[in-house]
Amino acid sequence: MTPGRSSLAASLGLDPRRLDASLGDRRLVKSIDDGLDRVEDELGRELRFSNRLADVAGRYLLEAGGKRIRPALALLTAQLGDGVTEDVVRIAAAIEITHLASLYHDDVMDEASLRRGVPSAHTVWGNSAAILTGDLLFARASLIIADIGVEALQLQGTTFERLVVGQLNETAGPADGEDAIEHYLRVLADKTGSLIATAAEAGVRFSNADRALIAPLRLYGERVGIAFQLADDVIDLAADPAVTGKPSGTDIRAGVPTMPVLLLSRQAGDDPEAASLLERLHSADDEELAAAIGELRAHPVTTATRAEARRWADSAIEALEPIRTGPVRRALTEFATRVVERDA
């Protein structure tokens, strides 16, 4: 951990001064920060493989960085119970490995060229190696969780199923007559929300906290996940790859649906200007496409996407009502607020 810098603050994207005000307990912050260091050590140990290619490729995205949002949430909600137990550390690491595994697969499917500011794994080793690396990480996460017990395996299995269903639904697109935006929000709930919800639940479940807290924290995590991805849809349009770690309009260039484009499509039937912009967003000419992405960035549909992200974040905060007022609830509230304010 960088001296004077809270790992928890860095993971959740919070101003350390605001975090101190939210938690009001330096011992609690230190407990979580120490826990994040333990998770990082666990990740370093677990992502080692005897096969040379597996060893290099398996640690590639781990070493590229990442905020460790999911482990941080698990360690934070564990403060509602016995705190950072060994099981909480282990499952927090497994959740992060599951997240990393999904990134290898996502980048292949989306044909993404950059991830976390470095070339995507499939551009370095090819599609087959990237897919197999993702599979390898899923397997390693399962082995970690199997040591914790059946309850952890069930949680992982349910989460993995939702991740896959979300990806399948994104690939297939909405069914005939299905509202495209409602379909998209369900995809986000499965692809992004499910793993964040699992992290929030795991901290409670494996710290011997009151099990009545599991349902509200799962709901909180899923709603935060949707808000997080909607905010990412806006960030995807940002002009500065040095800030975002990937080129402007990466999802649009890959043909991946995003909320601004879906809202624009809804307008296009009655608005010739929206229809024209939508058409140019599918241009094969890179210069014209870049200009269209810039127009979309300034378009009211992008403002509407930000507002929708805030609505989901507010809804996540509402889900915290059963959680006792105190430092953990304040930090969770702060995180949900920050999710939609970030620029990377």
CB 195 within 8 A of CB 159: yes
User: What is d(CA 32, CA 66) in angstroms, rounded to the nearest whole number?
Assistant: 17
Residue 9's pLDDT is 60
Residue-wise pLDDT tens digits, 112-148: 777 877 888 898 899 999 999 999 999 999 999 999 9
Residue-wise pLDDT tens digits, 38-77: 999 999 999 999 999 999 999 989 988 888 999 999 999 9
Band of residue 16 on the pLDDT scale cut at 50, 70, 90: low
Residue 253's pLDDT is 82
Q: Tell which phi-psi region holds residue 319, choosing left (phi > 0), alpha (psi between -120 and 50) or beta.
A: alpha
Domains of the chain: 7-339 (1.10.600.10)
Please give the distance of CA 329 from its chain centroid, rounded to a whole number.
20
% of the chain surpassing 70 pLDDT? 90
Query: Which DSSP state fits 174?
Result: P
Of 162, 157, 184, whose CA–CA distance to 172 is shortest? 184
Query: Which DSSP state fits 289?
Result: H
CB 148 within 8 A of CB 206: yes
Residue 285's pLDDT is 79
Residue 341's pLDDT is 85
Mean residue pLDDT of the chain comes to 88
Please give the distance of CA 194 from its chain centroid, rounded to a whole number.
9
